[in-house]
Amino acid sequence: MAEIVTATDEAVRAVRPRLVGGVLAMVASAVPVVVLALLVRNASGPVARFDQRADVRTTGIALAHPAVRRAAEVGALALHPWVFRTAVIVAAVVLFRRRARAAALWAATTMVVGSLLGVVLKSLVQRARPRLDDPVAAESGFSFPSGHALNAALGVTILLLLLWRPLERAARRGAALAIGVLLVVATSLDRLLLGVHFPTDVVAGDLVGALVAISSWVAFGPVLRERSRREADRATSSGRTA
């Protein structure tokens, strides 16, 4: 018991500096997103003009190649935000059933907070969707940041952080990282091919999603690991007693 109390005390003492570090990381990561938001609000500025030209080119690829267009339309469903949210929810349920309740709570809470942050940012920036002469698809709502890109980056980063230690081997970690990056890139490209977002929308979404998860992990990671160890010890002790 004394050992557990000591470990817990150490974890609690580690919370404050880690929490401060997480907040600082969040503030620092917000800088490029804020800069992008300010730039895109100028509809006649160079960033907006670049975005418009890029969208014309990417949608032109989809319009010129029916197979690419069909793949993008399928991707809009296969890479929907709820796919990534569901993946995190499933992971949280699995962790909870394995008595890693702290990690489960962290994953679910971080996913919810990150998703809601995307909605808040859309309402604050209020950037209109791309207007193209030959649109591939049409969606309602504001454009900045991309909700699809944000939830993809957020969900993938959460899952990678949860799996990093259990995977152990470098090859497995590399494979998981490659798959995660591929999913995020595919989601971002899909939004551009469909012409429903500008490049800066998906870049901002990727940044916000990944950095929210990382900042949250920086703040609470040590506590999660300590609580997970305690929960595992309790489960082992209960099994021996039974």
DSSP letters spanning the chain: -HHHHHHHHHHHHHHHHHHHHHHHHHHHHHHHHHHHHHHHT-TTSHHHHHHHHHHHHHHHHHHH-HHHHHHHHHHHHHT-HHHHHHHHHHHHHHHHHTT-HHHHHHHHHHHHHHHHHHHHHHHHH-PPPP--SS-S----S--SS-HHHHHHHHHHHHHHHHHHHHH-SHHHHHHHHHHHHHHHHHHHHHHHHHTSS-HHHHHHHHHHHHHHHHHHHHHHHHHHHHHHHHHHHHHHHHHHH-
Mean pLDDT, rounded, of the chain: 84
**Residue 68: pLDDT above 80?**
yes
Mean pLDDT of all residues in 150-178: 93
Q: For the segment 83-104, what is each residue's pLDDT rounded down to a tens digit?
A: 999 999 999 999 888 888 888 9
Q: What percent of the chain has pLDDT over 90?
A: 48
Is residue 73 within 8 Å of 138, Cβ to Cβ? no
Mean pLDDT of all residues in 131-149: 88
pLDDT at 181: 96
pTM exceeds cut of 0.85: no
pLDDT band at 17 (very low <50, low <70, confident <90, very high): low
Mean pLDDT of all residues in 199-209: 94
Span of 51-65, 113-127, 130-144 with lowest mean pLDDT = 130-144
